[in-house]
């Protein structure tokens, strides 16, 4: 069986390090705040080339706190790409603002700049730049647009640990960035976890305060915040995994390169485009086919798991019916029936990828 995700396998390769790190936290019984969190914040900021890192409870909180920290007028319009996980929109609404969708690029699947431009109104104050599937958004153009239209750029980096634009790591290229360390992400904890990155000292301070009851020291609260601290057990796991993420990412890229090369000649498959300026870290390797569900089944019959990201584009969800948007408005609303995520990750060898390719070629009758 070729699994889509295999966290047990990953654990088996780092068991001793992880067990020791977790035991250390429990032995010391320091569960909130402390060495592990400090080390994670320092090392993850270095890894992503950012000034400040604030560890928080999960990726959705990271987005929400990042938006709150920007202190935009309540009810501001924030533009969200149609193809993403719901958190990208949820965080906008939860922080008191208005979701406005725009389309995604049909080749690299990140935010479509032309559609984004059209969605901007006088009330638009920010954009959620989702580095979807591990492919970075075109940050050059986004930052130019941000200056032109006086917008804040919030990077949703949940799928893009280590991704780069012209050799520069994402996360703090925009005004503020949010990461998820959900177990299945490229860098995952053993439960929920997340982080905020920024190069702006004031935004970093504000974010840290929001995530910790609006306080500057114990029992001295400047405003009402919330509890979104990350715990030391999760930080300990992440500190171990941070040492391996570079190797794991290279393995993802090698498998992706193999898929791209081997599947190029199958005309029924639309392969994901990697822009020349991008380091795509392949959280997901998403192809598009006309008969997606049929193919997914065929792969399953051949012991190959696959995924769908995402089966329903955000504007079509029940949760966003209230926006009254036209179903046909976005291209992304149409290709949700075609997307299929092939197995990729540190558990997938080139040999496994070879099997996936041969089953796909067999299915489409190509040589
Ligand atoms: C996973 C994910 C999130 C949310 O992260 P959680 O840690 O699960 O809250 C946000 N945005 C995107 C694009 C994601 O894939």
How far is residue 138's CA from residue 111's CA, in Å, rounded to a whole number?
8
Residue 234 CB–ligand 1 contact under 6 Å: no
Residue 88 CB–ligand 1 contact under 6 Å: yes
Which parts of 189-270 fold into alpha helices (H)?
201-211, 232-242, 245-263
Q: What are phi and psi of 248, to 5 degrees?
A: -60, -40
103 upstream amide cis, omega within 30 of 0: no
What's the length of the chain? Answer: 367
Whether the pTM exceeds 0.85: the reply is: yes
In ligand 1, the atom with minimum distance to the C-alpha of 193 is: 7
Nearest CA to ligand 1 atom 6: 59
- Of residues 274, 249, 273, 261, the one with CA closest to residue 344: 249
Tens digit of pLDDT at every position of the chain (367 positions): 999 999 999 999 999 999 999 999 999 999 999 899 999 999 999 999 999 999 999 999 999 999 999 999 999 999 999 999 999 999 999 999 999 999 999 999 999 999 999 999 999 999 999 999 999 999 999 999 999 999 999 999 999 999 999 999 999 999 999 999 999 999 999 999 999 999 999 999 999 999 999 998 889 999 999 999 999 999 999 999 999 999 999 999 999 999 999 999 999 999 999 999 999 999 999 999 999 999 999 999 999 999 999 999 999 999 999 999 877 889 999 999 999 999 999 999 999 999 999 999 999 997 5
Using the mean position of ligand 1's atoms as its centre, give its distance from the Cα of residue 262 in Å: 31
């Amino acid at each position: 069986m070729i699994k889509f995700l295999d966290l047990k396998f990953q654990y088996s390769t780092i068991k001793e390090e992880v067990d020791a790190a977790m035991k250390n936290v429990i032995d010391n019984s320091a569960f909130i705040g402390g060495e592990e969190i400090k080390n994670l914040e320092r090392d993850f900021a270095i890894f992503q080339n950012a000034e400040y890192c604030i560890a928080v409870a999960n990726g959705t909180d990271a987005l929400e706190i990042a938006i709150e920290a920007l202190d935009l007028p309540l009810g501001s319009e924030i533009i969200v790409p149609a193809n993403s996980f719901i958190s990208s929109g949820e965080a906008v609404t939860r922080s008191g603002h208005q979701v406005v969708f725009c389309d995604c690029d049909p080749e690299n699947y990140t935010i479509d700049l032309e559609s984004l431009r059209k969605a901007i109104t006088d009330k638009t104050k920010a954009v959620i730049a989702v580095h979807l599937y591990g492919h970075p958004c075109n940050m050059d153009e986004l930052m130019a647009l941000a200056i032109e239209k006086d917008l804040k750029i919030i990077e949703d980096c949940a799928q893009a640990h280590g991704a780069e634009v012209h050799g520069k790591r994402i996360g703090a290229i925009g005004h503020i960035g949010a990461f998820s360390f959900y177990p299945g992400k490229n860098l995952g904890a053993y439960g929920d976890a997340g982080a905020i990155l920024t190069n702006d000292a004031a935004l970093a301070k504000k974010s840290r305060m929001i995530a910790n009851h609006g306080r500057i020291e114990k029992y001295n609260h400047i405003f009402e915040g919330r509890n979104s601290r990350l715990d030391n057990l999760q930080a300990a796991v992440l500190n171990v995994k941070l040492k391996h993420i570079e190797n794991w990412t290279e393995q993802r890229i090698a498998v992706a390169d193999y898929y791209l090369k081997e599947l190029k000649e199958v005309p029924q498959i639309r392969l994901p485009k990697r822009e020349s300026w991008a380091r795509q870290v392949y959280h997901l390797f998403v192809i598009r086919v006309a008969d997606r569900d049929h193919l997914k089944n065929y792969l399953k019959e051949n012991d190959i798991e696959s995924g769908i990201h995402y089966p329903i584009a955000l504007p079509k969800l029940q949760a966003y019916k209230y926006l009254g948007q036209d179903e046909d408005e976005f291209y992304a609303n149409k290709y949700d029936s075609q997307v299929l995520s092939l197995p990729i990750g540190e558990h997938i060898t080139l040999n496994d990828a070879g099997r996936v390719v041969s089953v796909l070629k067999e299915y489409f009758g190509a040589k």
